[in-house]
Amino acid sequence: MTRTSQWPVPPDSVRYVIPNPVIRSLSRHPLTRDLYPLAFGHYRRAAGHHMHREQHGDDLLIHCTEGEAYLSVEDEPCLVSAGDLVLIPAGAAHRYTAAPENPWTIHWVHYAGPLAAHFREHMGFTGGIRVQHIGRQPRLLVDFNGLLSVRQTGFRSPELVHVANRLRQLLAAVPLSAGKAGHAQQPDLETIHKFMHEHLSERISLGQLANLTGLSPSHFATRYRAMTGVSPIQHLLHLKVEQACQMLDTTDHSFTRISSMLGYDDNYYFSRLFKKVMGQAPSDYRHSHRH
């Protein structure tokens, strides 16, 4: 049986867990064996909701419609807010906690099957992307609520075959919802990259870049990575390292001075970043490229 949180479900919330014998039946049924639900629900203002899983064997899709929660997947933290869609893939260690002052409201579903990984890619959760900001999407809410229609049916096979195919419909439609949100809130890369180039001598924060787009820092970072394949701060670092390489090639400035000119007071810290990107220390780079 899939491991859900032990959050005490109040009367206005729902948690539906499918028994193991029924899951085994779904995993063998020709109409459900490729993709089938394990548990699903709807939590309203889930104060005190938290979970920590080091290992798990299913995918978990969460749609936050109100409030916030703190999420960490494979030790990468982020804030989940209203309008976010979260995908935690099978095998990924994770933890989440509803924000105490503003707890999240969520629809969620655990599922498994050979098609789960393919749907992960179909929905755009690749390259380390765990969160997509899609806003309020009535169609998605209808699909999530469609899963809940199976309640109070005694785990009968016809109803579960139906809900398994409602799950497939839900996952298949996610890119349509994400696409609508993306057109409405697509960061202007030209403006962002111009700002980066013009401020290479400064320590630019994620918040400063997000302000150029009108998005929250977490939503901006998610959208930017979806468009470019890297985080905005990683791209900025690469620009700074490129500039450092040019200065090492064309000037006699010390690396301490170059670091300072690129906004780093701690040249040892920037030297470590340089080596991580280039695969060699600044002194080795200068020597190998000058002789």
Q: Is residue 22 part of a domain?
A: yes
Please give the pLDDT value at position 287.
80
pLDDT per position as a tens digit, 95-130: 999 999 999 999 999 999 999 999 999 998 988 889
Is the model's pLDDT at 1 over the cut of 80?
no
Q: Is residue 221 part of a domain?
A: yes
Q: Is residue 8 part of a domain?
A: no
**What Rg, from alpha-carbon coordinates, does the chain have?**
23
Looking up residue 58, the CATH number of its domain turns out to be 2.60.120.280
Q: Is residue 123 part of a domain?
A: yes
SS (H, E, C) the chain: CCCCCCCCCCCCCEEEECCHHHHHHHHHCCCCCCCEEEEEEEECCCCCCEEEECCCCCEEEEEEEECEEEEEECCEEEEEECCEEEEECCCCCEEEEECCCCECEEEEEEEECCCHHHHHHHCCCCCCCCEEECCCCHHHHHHHHHHHCCCCCCCCHHHHHHHHHHHHHHHHHHHHHHHHHHHHCCCCHHHHHHHHHHCCCCCCCHHHHHHCCCCCHHHHHHHHHHHHCCCHHHHHHHHHHHHHHHHHHHCCCCHHHHHHHCCCCCHHHHHHHHHHHHCCCHHHHHHHHHC
Looking up residue 260, the CATH number of its domain turns out to be 1.10.10.60
Judge if 21 and 76 occupy the same domain.
Answer: yes
Q: Which residues, 6 or more positions from 271, have their beta carbon under 8 angstroms from its beta carbon?
A: 255, 259, 281, 282
Of the candidates 183, 208, 232, which is a domain's last residue? 183
- Phi first, then psi, for residue 234 (nearest 5°) are -65, -40
Q: Which residues, 6 or more positions from 43, have their beta carbon under 8 angstroms from its beta carbon?
A: 7, 9, 13, 14, 15, 49, 104, 105, 106, 108
Q: What angle do CA 231, 225, 187 make, to 5 degrees?
A: 105
Model-level pTM? 0.64
Of the candidates 134, 158, 183, which is a domain's last residue? 183
Residue 76 pairs with which residues in a beta bridge? Answer: 73
AA identity, residue 230: V
pLDDT per position as a tens digit, 52-92: 999 889 999 999 999 999 999 998 899 999 989 999 999 99
Please give the pLDDT value at position 183.
45
pLDDT per position as a tens digit, 224-282: 887 788 899 999 999 999 999 999 999 999 999 999 999 999 999 999 999 999 999 99
Please give the pLDDT value at position 168.
96
pLDDT per position as a tens digit, 210-237: 888 777 888 788 888 877 888 999 999 9
Of the candidates 183, 199, 215, which is a domain's last residue? 183
Judge if 169 and 199 occupy the same domain.
Answer: no
- How many domains is the chain partitioned into structurally? 2
Judge if 150 and 214 occupy the same domain.
Answer: no
pLDDT per position as a tens digit, 154-210: 888 888 999 999 999 999 998 876 655 544 456 778 888 988 988 899 888 998 888
**What gap in Å lies between CA 63 and CA 82, rounded to an integer?**
8
Judge if 212 and 196 occupy the same domain.
Answer: yes
Give 2's pLDDT tier (boundaries 50, 70, 90): low
Q: In terms of residue numbers, what domain contains 162?
A: 14-183
Give 142's pLDDT tier (boundaries 50, 70, 90): confident
Judge if 241 and 178 occupy the same domain.
Answer: no
Q: Is residue 237 part of a domain?
A: yes
